Amino acid sequence: MSEMKTFDLKHWSEQQMDLIEKALNDWVPREVGGSLGASMRYAVLGGGKRLRPLLCLATRQSMRLQGEEGGQGGAFDQAALRAACALELIHAYSLVHDDMPCMDDDILRRGQPTVHVQFGQAMALLCGDSLQALAFELLTPSESLVPARVQAVLCRHLSQAAGHAGMAGGQAIDLQSVGVVLSQAQLQEMHAKKTGALLHACVMMGAACSQAGALSEKLESSLSGYARALGLAFQVVDDILDVVSDTQTLGKTVGKDAAHDKPTYVSLLGLRGAQTYAQTLYQQANDALMTSGLRDVAALGALADLVIKRKS
Amino acid sequence: MSEMKTFDLKHWSEQQMDLIEKALNDWVPREVGGSLGASMRYAVLGGGKRLRPLLCLATRQSMRLQGEEGGQGGAFDQAALRAACALELIHAYSLVHDDMPCMDDDILRRGQPTVHVQFGQAMALLCGDSLQALAFELLTPSESLVPARVQAVLCRHLSQAAGHAGMAGGQAIDLQSVGVVLSQAQLQEMHAKKTGALLHACVMMGAACSQAGALSEKLESSLSGYARALGLAFQVVDDILDVVSDTQTLGKTVGKDAAHDKPTYVSLLGLRGAQTYAQTLYQQANDALMTSGLRDVAALGALADLVIKRKS
């Protein structure tokens, strides 16, 4: 626990962000397909909290074995960095498609024009499609860089989290729930897929980048519990911010959920109820870390803290 | 050569199609994400020539080693069937997105309303996104079904062929070439990416599903040559059909390229010139098979024949 108390999230995040931004800058193509490359770089390199990559790298860190090859040269660090970037690419593609006129019709993202405003709808469509493909490309480099076994596990986690049973499936439920009264269980299922599945994959993919190989049942259950609580908390806080924040701080249009008559945790539980629920989930995430048996969970704990306290 | 003369493509195709249709029917989800599952099944199971899966399975067949475990139970047959279906899913997703109003704005596909007409644009977007993810999900089952090494190679080929340097990149070039005069080299590059990359992947993924492991340089070069010639021929014939066929036979709107002022092989070489070029490419494909050293190239030869002679 002393590690958690003295852990400097800002310093750690800055170090990791350097790695992530450099890798994304290297791996997202420049001049390809006319302005396709430019649109991909615009979508990915225009900032963002990089929560998903950080979560992946924090989990990798928690799994590092004593004496395991260290530094960014090791195959497992290489794998984790690729996994972290692949997760960010999937997140970025989902935002590009989500912002399109036929979906949320948003013109502003991180304070900048959305991709379809900047590059046109057709290019935004192809940009998102290409980012999804690129995610799997990053996960499957030469086997001299990342062992085939790890590549397969990473692709398995990512495809399941991104697809019909995960993110895209959750978006489809969301799409069809406008104006519909959902129970808390239904809202939970929607968000577990829409945002939870990818956050869960961040943790499981980070954990797969380790010499330890397959996880013990106990460890998998602990990490899974942490990831699920964090994912839900993230969405509850999102709903709270949509009500209490302003467009400038948030970098995207606020109040859209209410305007679109979308069910949220705030509409379901009230603002106070949603805040209490977020705290409960935060506690669950920390409890799961405590029971994991992992030595170095400081970064994972600090990220849970960040998710609850974030202002944007 | 006697095998080629007596090879019954119709019989072989019917056998393979049974496997492909059954697998797609099993693997594309039903009830998920509201109508998402229904839209995915509508996009994939509504017919189609299944050229890409057939090409993949024909290549797998050409690589089968004497004495290799046979039947559909073997890990390499399992891998090839998954690869075949994954390729079809990528093709299907590209059609769904391509047909959308912001792209080609097509309302007819295989004689039926396109996905966005049937399910709405937002669902069509998510349908395509989910089909792409599902392709990678099919390639990464439990390692007890397909060796991790093969999973990694398959994901590597597919992601590269589908993404910015392949299909999506080619579509982006296509998008930006409306009303632009392209040279034959530029047209070639566009099509090599837009349709050629995925057809190339069909062959290379089929070849990867073998106990033989990594391909010899000579074999890789032969198969690559076959795939490139076939892919180009496919596009040249596509351009010819857009001019000489009718909407009913083709199952999609004809004359769209000219109407949209898109460069085609017919606009570049004339109808007769395009027909001659298709024949040359057909010959190249067959020459490549002859130099491959593979024993059983009958199905691959017959598919090249089919691509040239197809009427739709």
- Cα-based distances in Å from B87 to A189, A271, B53, B69: 30, 47, 6, 24
Name the percent of chain A lying above pLDDT 90. 72
Which tokens belong to A307?
């998710």
Q: Give the CATH number of the domain where residue B77 resides.
A: 1.10.600.10
Average pLDDT, chain A: 90
Which tokens belong to A269?
């539980």
Q: pTM score, two decimals?
A: 0.93
Question: What pLDDT is attached to residue A46?
Answer: 83
Question: What pLDDT is attached to residue A255?
Answer: 67
pLDDT, one tens digit per residue, over B186-226 is 888 999 999 999 999 999 999 999 877 788 999 999 999 99
Q: Which of B133, B140, B156 sits opposite A162 (nearest CB)?
A: B133
Average pLDDT over residues A52-58: 98
Which of A 137-166 lie inside 8 A of B, CB atoms?
137, 139-141, 143, 148-149, 151-153, 155-156, 158-160, 162-166
- Residue A138's SS3 state is helix
| pLDDT band with cut points at 50, 70 and 90 for residue B275 | very high
Which tokens belong to A252?
């995207």
Domain that holds residue A153: 2-309
Question: What pLDDT is attached to residue A5?
Answer: 56
CA of B136 to nearest chain A CA: how many angstroms apart? Answer: 6
Q: Please list, residue by residue across B50-74, b when 16 or more beta carbons sit within 10 angstroms of its beta carbon and e when fewer do.
A: bbbbbbbbbbbbbbbeeeeeeeeee
β A112-113/A108-109 pair status: antiparallel
Predicted ipTM beyond 0.90: yes
* Residue A253 clears pLDDT 90, i.e. is over it: no
* Residue B72 clears pLDDT 70, i.e. is over it: no
Instruction: Give the residue from chain A lying closest to B154, CA to CA.
Output: A140
Q: Which of B102, B140, B159 sits opposite A133 (nearest CB)?
A: B159
Question: What pLDDT is attached to residue A160?
Answer: 98
| pLDDT band with cut points at 50, 70 and 90 for residue A4 | very low
| pLDDT band with cut points at 50, 70 and 90 for residue B251 | low
* Residue B51 clears pLDDT 70, i.e. is over it: yes
Most confident segment among A26-35, A68-77, B40-49, B260-269: B40-49
Domain tally, chain B:
1
Which of B 19-58 lie inside 8 A of A, CB atoms?
29, 32-37, 40
| pLDDT band with cut points at 50, 70 and 90 for residue B101 | very high
